[in-house]
Structure 1
Amino acid sequence: MNAADVRSYFPILNQEVNGNPLVYLDSAATSQKPVQVIEALDKYYREYNSNVHRGVHTLGTRATDGYEGAREKVRKFINAKSTQEIIFTRGTTTALNTVAVSYGRANLSEGDEIAITYMEHHSNIIPWQQLAKATGATLKYIPLQEDGTVSLEDVKEIVNSNTKIVSMTMVSNVLGVINPIKEVAQIAHANGAILVVDGAQAAPHMKIDVQDLDCDFLGFSAHKMCGPTGIGVLYGKKSLLENMEPIEFGGEMIDFVDLYDSTWKELPWKFEGGTPIIAGAIGLGAAIDFLTEIGLDQIQAHEHRLAAYALERMSEVEGMKIYGPMDASKRAGLVTFNLADVHPHDVATVLDAEGIAIRAGHHCAQVLMKWLKASATARASFYLYNTEEEIDKLVAGLVKTKEYFSDVF
């Protein structure tokens, strides 16, 4: 994969920021969009903007075909058995909340347990906290190894016959750790629990086969994988979804409405009340086409090379503290760090003056920050359009930042 050729599809990258060529290293927060996605959105609004599933006119049919065609693309992308297992949501957050509310409140009670890790994003912590409060269940944390990885022995220690839900990120948005989801699914199922997977940081960067992983639910967002904001996916095994109640009620998700009772449509539509995110789904479909054409294996290999190079180069900077495993094969394409005594927000501000965009803060992972004994960190994240030359610019910017604050203080 030639990153220079890939970059030509992303018009936003061809600009200067603060007088410098843009170096965008914040794709873990949101990725940039290729012209193929932008044009797909534009074409929908210009040529066949209409609601779906309702009208029999030509525009309505084209919109429905585009919307449901995108569902099939998602099914194939993650190798789900059926499009009935693919539910469009606002994003990963909505997907995880749907499982916690619809499945969790119907199936958990006092004495049951929920197991998660310290590395989870807030979206994969707070729904389970609220579920525990609502049902009387107990929330337990799987500990991390010194380098931030998860040990299967620790999973076996925490997950037991009382565990009803195990929820885990496939890739940490802070540590870059790639978790052993398939093995965790086996442990969960052996104890009668289900496995919920936060795939927000995995779906853009590596192949996901839900049948091979045998996860019960998976959520991910389009905006991190070259697609639009405001659209995401909840995958769930059909046998589980069929026995779950919708959590949003209104038009489109109903079969029949009477004065005092109603019945629901079949999967997946019973979970998609109201006018759905039509343009977003079509844009997600275009993003999947784009990523599939390049190849997820090539994207992952490219990011591993960048991660290895970044770990090597950034380690040369005096005062650099890097979080997570130093073995690039154990992590995805991001590096979270702190630079000497310089606050991460100051690091990000100086880098921005150089045209370099990174993330600074707690990354919606305050539980993990506490475990790391850090109030905040800086994060550089890489994607298919980034290059080693951009990492060199990042390192030069970090050296300049350190020198600047050394002179100040």
Structure 2
Amino acid sequence: MSATITPDATPVSVTLESTEIRSWKAPIALAVFVVVAVVLFVVLGRDGATTFRLSSDSDVVQLADWVLPARPTGITVTVLLALLTVVVVALTTMGNRLSARARRMVLAASIVAFTFLFLLGFLTWAAAGAAIPVTGLLLGTVSLSAPLIFGALGGVISERVGVVNVAIEGQLLAGAFCAALVASVTGNPFVGLVAAMIAGVLVSFVLAAFSIKYLVDQVIVGVVLNVLVLGLTSFLYSTVLSVDTAALNTAPRFPRFPIPVLSDIPVIGPVLFRQTLIVYLMYIAVVAVYIGLFHTKWGLRLRAVGEHPQAADTVGIRVNPTRFWNVSLAGAVAGLGGAYFTLDSVSSFGKDMTAGAGFIALAAVIFGRWNPVRATFAALLFGFATNLQNVLGAIGSPVPSEFMLMLPYVVTVLAVAGLVGYARGPAASGKPYIKS
């Protein structure tokens, strides 16, 4: 791009080079996975065939099983992974021969294809000689991802408005506790759902008050809130809920509600449309947050406050009140994720039952680059990794159980550190605003 500057009526030609920061994280990470594929699928390749069951006996439409020979499939997948890695390396080094938009689209498509092929190769290798119920694997993925998605949506809203939300874990745990207690006392899961949202708002209220009004470091406040909620819920569980479990910690669960017609679609129907109310609310929340952030006046103001609060203040947007109420909204969304634990997954509260889900949700926010749709897919990836350990353990896979237990956290670290590439969060996130 060129420009002409004419000080003192003297034309001076200046050439401005457009620069774009490119990261080698993705190519290096993909190359590492190719090496892993060579070792597992080729060197340690297994004989036999893997059967992917696409339908269950209760499905209206029955699909034929998909049978893949383990060793030939592993070799083919390894070759394709190597080719995709070459494509990603070429995209990283080709300079300005492609527009930035086209390069990002091709890069994203290549990484998605790489991920699918690697998972296909790994499943075929790990389950050689056995059968994998695809519907059950995906259904478990959605179930385990639901609280992560709610937490990630809350994290996206909070960080987009300029407040780092490390307290997602505390919001989930508070929501789970209050949902179990209130639903048990009232016998109504809907009242428990509302109580979970209020609990999430209260935790966010404290985060907003200390970080926005009193200018305390947001990360420190979030960590302290997580410890506080963990200690408080553990104490109340031991001294209150455990005293009378039948009356105080036996919550009614939401029943599954199949959507007519849609629930009969092969594979997709049982996974997405035979769910409970909270999962359907999750679908609505993802769409609502995306449309709200990028296609409404509310979202424009929220993003303006998170990117450039001084400019937002100049045009009349009240920065700190906007941050305060949107952080509270983020807590309500995360509270819904906490309710899933006690009103959908199980019917009672247990100590530290979220087990770090809030931190994985925070990783999904970063992996999804502060976009609600991308963060949802990131949360689904982490949920898939968690459910995979259960499925492979049930079919007797040779993968060590210790590795399967740490698989979700390994995937989280690799995704954020290796595949996310260069990511820039909201410019004013984590920075308190003091009106001059």
Which interval holds the TM-score relative to the shorter structure? under 0.3
Structure ranking higher in strand proportion: 1
Larger Rg: 2
